[in-house]
Amino acid sequence: MFKATPNPPGSGTDSPEALDAIKMKEAADRAFAHYFPPAEEKRSKRRKYQLFAVASNLDDPEALLANASEDLLSISAIAAGLADDVDGTRRSLALGISRLTDGVQLLVERVLDHHEALAAGKV
């Protein structure tokens, strides 16, 4: 059957405004999902592109802290050595990296000492 009068504007989803609103909502949902994925998806993305990993069977905190301390000491030595070879702001940057790693290494050493004291029953 033929309808003599068209539907009034805005009554259906066929109007350009309604189609634009639908497209905008879909685009906003895609953008939101991209920048704020669910927590499970965030974890899987992190694992997917992970370059380094700690062995899962390594659960000795003392060994992990000792290795972290040694690595920080190495980074500090590299930065201090680099500071000897450069001048100006690059030297300041290298010395800053060296000092920051020294500070973090002291924090790790403090945690390691505390862990050893707990193991010995001194705390």
Q: pLDDT by residue (tens digit) across 72-83?
A: 999 999 999 999
Are 67 and 114 within one domain?
yes
Q: Which domain holds residue 105?
A: 61-120
Predicted TM-score of the model (pTM): 0.53
- Name the phi and psi angles at 53, rounded to 5: -150, 150
Query: Residue 121: which region, alpha, beta or left (left: phi > 0; alpha: psi -120 to 50)?
Result: left
Mean of per-residue pLDDT scores for the chain: 80
Mean pLDDT within 15-44: 75
Are 66 and 113 within one domain?
yes
Higher model confidence: residue 76 or residue 56?
Answer: 76
* Type of residue numbered 30: R
The answer to whether position 3 is within a domain reads no
As for how many domains the chain has, the answer is: 2
Domain end residue (candidates: 27, 48, 69): 48
pLDDT at 46 over 60: no
Mean pLDDT within 35-58: 68
